[in-house]
Amino acid sequence: MELALNRWGPLREVALFSGAQITGLNNNDYQIKKGTEYNRAAGFLKSSLAGHLLKFIINRSVGQGLTERCGFLKADFMDIPKEANSYDAVYAIDATCHAPDAVKCYQTHLAGLFMMQEIFRVLKPGCMFAGYEWCSTDLNDPSNPKHKAILDEIELGNGLPDIRSTEQLVNAVCCYAKTFVDSAYLAQRTLILKAQRAI
């Protein structure tokens, strides 16, 4: 499953590379409509010379077209309408940082299920979550007006409610993951996460 706020470029690339069936989760009708159109347009790879070359290069049958392998689910990733243990993998690319409430997003709350809890609920035991998103590093000084201005611009330009710290995000993942596999900074702004669901 891809948790997304985009037009599904990564979904198509992962499906073509891996041969997997992928469900894209998004609560925006327009983005789902565009993703469906783009998948249909990209389906030429199934029968084109490029598709045959791709099969040869990665030694894997491209198999079904993208429209058959890439489906969409209109839903909120804070309340995923799927059974527990439904997916072999879940990934998020600049999506979870758009959750409306940082505290609710990363903590269990009696009023309902929230994002990390939901992600690990729909993952099969022992399977992986991977993602990256905007977050601030330990170098951020909230009292420094220059740092605040930079974060404000990033939040505005990316439509973010706020930018969480790396520590907040890692702690949230660790609450639900059996194993926190790895994290890494890219250009001191993006955190890459890999975590395994408890068995």
User: Measuring CA to CA, which residue among 137, 130, 136 is closest to residue 193?
Assistant: 130
102: pLDDT strictly greater than 60 = no
Identify the pLDDT of residue 8.
Answer: 74
Q: Which of 7-16, 49-58, 94-103 has the highest mean pLDDT?
A: 7-16
- Mean of the pLDDT values across residues 66-79? 84
Q: DSSP of 61-121, one letter per residue? A: ---S-HHHHEEEEE-BTTB--S-TT-EEEEEEES-GGG-S-HHHHHS-BTTB--HHHHHHH
Identify the pLDDT of residue 180.
Answer: 64
- Mean of the pLDDT values across residues 169-195? 64
pLDDT digits (tens, 9 = 90+) for 141-164: 999 999 999 999 999 998 887 788
Identify the pLDDT of residue 38.
Answer: 83
Q: How far apart are CA 147 and CA 132, in angstroms?
A: 21
Tokens of 192: 């890459």
Mean pLDDT of the chain: 75
Within 10 Å of residue 61's Cβ, how many Cβ atoms? 10
25: pLDDT strictly greater than 70 = yes
Q: pTM for the full model?
A: 0.75
Identify the pLDDT of residue 63.
Answer: 42
**Given pLDDT bands bounded at 50, 70 and 90, which one contains residue 109?**
very low
